[in-house]
Structure formats: C-alpha cells, structure tokens
Amino acid sequence: MKALFLAISGALAGNAVAQDAFEPTDFNVTEALFANGVNVSALSDLAALVEKRSLSSPCTAACSSLKLIFGSKLLSSGSEPYDTFTSGYWSNQAAFVNPACVFRPSKAIDVSTTILVSRLTQCPFAVKGGGHTAFPGASSIEGGITITMEAMNEITLSSNKKTAFIGPGNRWGAVYKKLGEHNLAVIGGRASDVGLGLVLGGGISHQSSIYGYACDNVASYEVVTASGIILKVTPTLFPDLYWALRGGGNNFGIVTRFELETIPQGLMWGGTRVHTQASYPALIDAFASMAEGATEDPKSAQILSFAVTAGNAAAQIQLEYLEPVDETNPPAILQKYLDIPPLMANTLNRTLANDTVMLTNQMPGGRRYAFWAATYKLDREFMAWLQARHEKDVGPLADQGALAFQAFTVPAMEQMSKKGGNALGLSPADGPLMHTLLYVVWDNASKDEQLNKAALDLMNAAKAEAKDRNLYTEFIYLNYAGPYQNVIPSYGDEKLAKLKSIAKKYDPAAVFQKLQPGGFKLEGAPYGETI
C-alpha cells in the first residue's frame, strides 16, 4: 500500500490551463488521480479498471477505495455517523435517501479526487450544502456517493475586511453571527439553518433591494471542475464560468470556497405580524406598495404568506428594515403595514443573526414538503385571485402550508447586471415582479400524490389566469422550485444556450449532468416537466 499516496502535483496546476482546453479529448482519469497523489493500480478494487475490465459494482468499488484513501472522512453505510448524517436533511423526503457512502472532504483536492473516482468507476454522486432542497436527489443520492461539504466551514475575513471567505459547509446563521462581531454581514439567506447552495440559485436576501441577490455579491468562487482542476473564478478570471455560477445551480462544478463581499451591518428591525382574513385586502395593498416603493427606500424587505394550517386561514408578514425602527415614528415605507392591527407581532430591533432564527423556527424540518415557484408581474387583483384559489384548492388538503409572496423589486433586479450580469432570466424593465412560493407541508406519504396533483392544478390554473391578465413571466426561481418544474430553461433560450456552451467548455464529458443527476439540470425538470 505504500505506493498509494504520491506527491501531489496535478490539480493545482490547472490554473495555467489554456481557457479553451479544460479537458483534452484523451483526458485520462487514472493519470489525473495520479497527479492528485492516488495510485489507482495500488487500489485493489480499482486496479481492474486500469486493465480496462469493468466493475461488477461501481459504487462498492468507489466507496471502498475512498475509504482506503481517506479513512474517517468516508462514512460507510450502516455506521452510526452515516445514520446521523442521512437523518440531517430538512425534509423527510430527502432524509429517506440511502447513499452507498457519504464523503466528508476537508480540502478542495479531496473533492477533486472524489469527482475523479466517480468518473473512473461511473458511480454517481450528489453534493450537500445545507441540505434544504426539499425533494430527494438534489443533495443526496440513492446508492451513490453523497459529498457533504460540512467540514469545509471556514468563516474568515480578508485582511482589508472587504470580503469574507466562507466554506461551502456553513449555514447562514453562523456566518452572520461571526461577521456580526465585526459589524459586517454578507448577502445571503434569511433562515439560519439554510446553506450556501442558496448562492448558486440566486439567493434572495433582506438586503437585495440595495445590493442585489447573493449571487451578485460574490468576489470569487473556488471551484473544482469535472476534470478535477481547482480554479479561482472571478469576474475577470474565467468570466464565463463566473456568470454561469450566478444562478446556474450545480451544473458547472463543486464550489469549495465562496469569497463574498461584506457589507456594514449593525442592528436592524424585523419580525413577524399575524393577521386575520379581514386584513387580506389591506395586506395585499401594503405588499404591493412596499414593492413599488423600493426604488425610493430600498431598506425594507417582506415575505407575505397566506397560510392555511389544519384548515384555518391566517396571514403572516415577515417584515424587515435594515436599520433600527421606532414603531411610533416609522419610515414611510413601513407605514401601511404598521397601520393594520395584528393578532400578534414580534417585531424588534435585532441583529441579522437573531433575525434569521425566526424563519428557521417557522419552517422546522422533519416533515414532508413541496415547493412550487412562479413569477408574475406585480398586481394587486391577481394577488387576491391567487390567495383565494390557494385557500380553497390546496390549503384544506395539506396539514400546513402557505402561498408566500415576495417581490423582485426594480432596484434589486438592477443590481443583477453588476460584474457582467447573472444567469437568471430577469430584467428590471419588467419589474416590479412578484414571486409566489407555494409551500405545502404534510406527514403521511400516502398523501404525496393527491397533494402534488392539487399543487400542479393550482400552478396550471394560475399560469392560465396570469396569461389572460397579461401578467405571466416564464422565469422560475431555482431555490423555490419543485422537481416537476423546468427551471434552467425558464431563464430563456439565449441564456440556456450560453449556459450549455459554458458547460460544454468546462465539462465536455457532461459529468455534472450525468454522474451528478440530482437537482435542476440544464435539460430541465428533475422528475420530468409538468409545468
């Protein structure tokens, strides 16, 4: 076994690779592994491959080889750490997936070696960040290798504090807490437990009307490509790949380090207010007014949810302002909401880290969930139509759920064109837009089919109605989409073609399409398109 580990020479040299030759046509995985210090001939389960014999059980060979190479970083099926890991997903559906093994890398080169072992054996893989995608297969893989980024959890400020290096295994609550000690923050998620996968789908944050989405505030990505090369990607280094990673999801590489731009962050104001059905018209007006008013005052943020819980309807508004607020003399943009008397309110001056705990508590894990996303032009009457249909058609069937409205404001969409633009299919000229997240919660798997059907029917009815009213947009937001939705193609033909050509350049063997089958692929919906 002494010849197994060799001096590492290869992976890092990739920065010198010519931009049009990411992978030669005669790319040899065995040699690439060799360059990473792994002698395939010395791994009994893989030696057959060097002699061009096929493997009877690709994933058994891949997992046992990773175990030999990496020891305790590899969690074998049936072990206690493996069981603890698989139960650690937000949704029950994702927690019931059983990978052949779980790999917990601590360095980019570990990730590089795993991709190469997957290619050599043809054992497929999935990558887990914070594990908040509700449907199975996006960050977990039945019978394959689940790569969890959890051990790569650095949070370090750069020397001038203008950026922070954030490991892909972090959760936003920990990031904000640490950076908050320096009165800084980054543009990221609004729930403490969500992970960095959010950046790859866009990333709606409380600060988006000022700074844009999470993906618009990335200084650099460290990415491991399909051929195991470790690249630093910035608006000027590999700018096409940088563009694709801003909204293109998991189709281009595995991010091993995010360098995010920091923003000043002191106390802010925020919390939730709960309202009865009598307030719905006023809430809809307040929502639309705040979305329209973002150009004058971009410091506010809102999520307006019309919930039905065990048959009872109520609305909840998650309201934020990026400075402390005196509720007796609030900024004008909050006034309409604050004028509506709540059943319950817990708005306070708080830290960003504390604010994010609320959303995590309101959406606790451990149940069955479905997300469905759609985007329409902002319109008060259509909001009322959507609310009523949800309350009537889907609300009563689920154990819990909501139709949640968020705004894509004009100033937020304007920020999308920073640094060469992003891959999402939105234009400020169409704004403001309203995003609907249809959020369905239940416990008994026997209800899966009925609820998927009810949700699909609502989405289709809403699409038809939006078209009639001239309010329809194609765009489907990746982070809130469900597995039957055609996300990446919804960005538009031109963006799709560009994304495909970038994938072809950096991943000519389509490793991230074929060997990493989960999540939103370039070709469309994970479970086949229905909408």
Ligand X SMILES: Cc1cc2nc3c(=O)[nH]c(=O)nc-3n(C[C@H](O)[C@H](O)[C@H](O)COP(=O)(O)OP(=O)(O)OC[C@H]3O[C@@H](n4cnc5c(N)ncnc54)[C@H](O)[C@@H]3O)c2cc1C
Contacts to ligand X by CB under 6 A: 90, 126-133, 138-139, 149, 168, 189-191, 194-198, 200-204, 250, 254-255, 359-360, 363, 479-480, 519
Nearer to ligand NAG, 20 or 53 (CB): 53
Quote the CA–CA distance of 246 and 478 in Å, as a whole number.
11
CB of 198 vs ligand X, minimal distance in Å: 3
CB of 49 vs ligand X, minimal distance in Å: 26
- The vertex-348 CA angle with 198 and 433, nearest 5°, equals 45
| Residue in 194, 204, 199 with CA at minimum distance from that of residue 221 | 199
CB of 214 vs ligand X, minimal distance in Å: 7
Q: How far is residue 362 from each of residues 78, 356, 393, measured CA to CA in Å?
A: 33, 10, 23
Q: Could you tell which of ligand NAG, ligand X, none binds residue 50, using a CB distance below 5 to 8 A set by kind?
A: ligand NAG
Chosen residue from 12, 27, 41, 234 binding ligand NAG by CB under 6 A: 41
Cβ neighbors of 172 (< 8 A, separation 6 or more) are: 188, 189, 190, 191, 192, 193, 194, 195, 198, 356
CB of 44 vs ligand NAG, minimal distance in Å: 9
Q: Could you tell which of ligand X, ligand NAG, none binds residue 354, using a CB distance below 5 to 8 A set by kind?
A: ligand NAG
CB of 497 vs ligand X, minimal distance in Å: 22
Q: Could you tell which of ligand NAG, ligand X, none binds residue 446, using a CB distance below 5 to 8 A set by kind?
A: ligand NAG
| Peptide linkage before 281 cis (omega within 30 of 0) | no
Nearer to ligand X, 119 or 190 (CB): 190
Parallel/antiparallel/unpaired status of strands 145-148 and 101-103 = parallel
Q: Could you tell which of ligand NAG, ligand X, none binds residue 225, using a CB distance below 5 to 8 A set by kind?
A: none
Quote the CA–CA distance of 164 and 488 in Å, as a whole number.
29
CA torsion angle for 400, 366, 301, 282 (degrees, to 10)? 10
CB of 276 vs ligand NAG, minimal distance in Å: 25
**Beta-bridge mates of residue 521:** 524
Q: Where are the beta strands (DSSP E) in 167-311?
A: 184-185, 218-224, 230-233, 254-261, 263-264, 268-275, 300-309
Nearer to ligand X, 94 or 454 (CB): 94
Nearer to ligand NAG, 118 or 354 (CB): 354
Asked if 349 touches ligand NAG (CB under 6 A), the answer is: yes
Quote the CA–CA distance of 511 and 417 in Å, as a whole number.
29
CB of 429 vs ligand X, minimal distance in Å: 22
What does the block give as tokens for 100? Answer: 């052949």
Nearer to ligand NAG, 42 or 157 (CB): 42
Chosen residue from 444, 449, 494, 528 binding ligand NAG by CB under 6 A: 444
CB of 335 vs ligand NAG, minimal distance in Å: 16
What does the block give as tokens for 387? Answer: 């609310």
Q: Could you tell which of ligand X, ligand NAG, none binds residue 31, using a CB distance below 5 to 8 A set by kind?
A: ligand NAG
Asked if 42 touches ligand NAG (CB under 6 A), the answer is: yes
Chosen residue from 354, 409, 473, 479 binding ligand NAG by CB under 6 A: 354
CB of 147 vs ligand X, minimal distance in Å: 9
Chosen residue from 446, 449, 470, 494 binding ligand NAG by CB under 6 A: 446
Quote the CA–CA distance of 68 and 148 in Å, as a whole number.
18
Q: Could you tell which of ligand NAG, ligand X, none binds residue 293, using a CB distance below 5 to 8 A set by kind?
A: none
Nearer to ligand NAG, 4 or 461 (CB): 4
| Residue in 202, 383, 213 with CA at minimum distance from that of residue 289 | 383
For the beta sheet containing 125-128, the strands, ordered from the edge strand earlier in sequence to the opposite edge, are 74-76, 101-103, 145-148, 125-128
CB of 153 vs ligand X, minimal distance in Å: 12
Q: Could you tell which of ligand NAG, ligand X, none binds residue 197, using a CB distance below 5 to 8 A set by kind?
A: ligand X
CB of 245 vs ligand X, minimal distance in Å: 9
Q: What is the DSSP string of 144-203?
A: SEEEE-TT---EEE-TTSSEEEE-TT-BHHHHHHHHHTTTEE-S--SSTT-BTHHHHT--
Q: What is the DSSP string of 126-156?
A: EEESS----STTSS--TTSEEEE-TT---EE
Quote the CA–CA distance of 30 and 269 in Å, as a whole number.
55
Q: Could you tell which of ligand NAG, ligand X, none binds residue 210, using a CB distance below 5 to 8 A set by kind?
A: none
- Judged by CB under 6 A, the chain residues 306 through 345 that form the site for ligand NAG are 324-326
CB of 255 vs ligand X, minimal distance in Å: 4
What does the per-residue mask of binding to ligand NAG show for 11-40, with x meaning CB under 6 A? -----------------x-xx-------x-
Contacts with ligand NAG by CB under 6 A: the residue count is 19
What does the block give as tokens for 432? Answer: 């403001």
**Beta-bridge mates of residue 222:** 232, 257
Q: Could you tell which of ligand NAG, ligand X, none binds residue 349, using a CB distance below 5 to 8 A set by kind?
A: ligand NAG
Quote the CA–CA distance of 512 and 225 in Å, as a whole number.
9
Quote the CA–CA distance of 206 and 94 in Å, as a whole number.
27
Q: Are 208 and 415 in contact (CB under 8 A)?
A: yes
Quote the CA–CA distance of 321 and 94 in Å, as a whole number.
34
Query: Which spans of this chain sit near ligand NAG (rule: CB under 6 A)?
Result: 3, 6, 28, 30-31, 39, 41-42, 50, 324-326, 348-351, 354, 444, 446
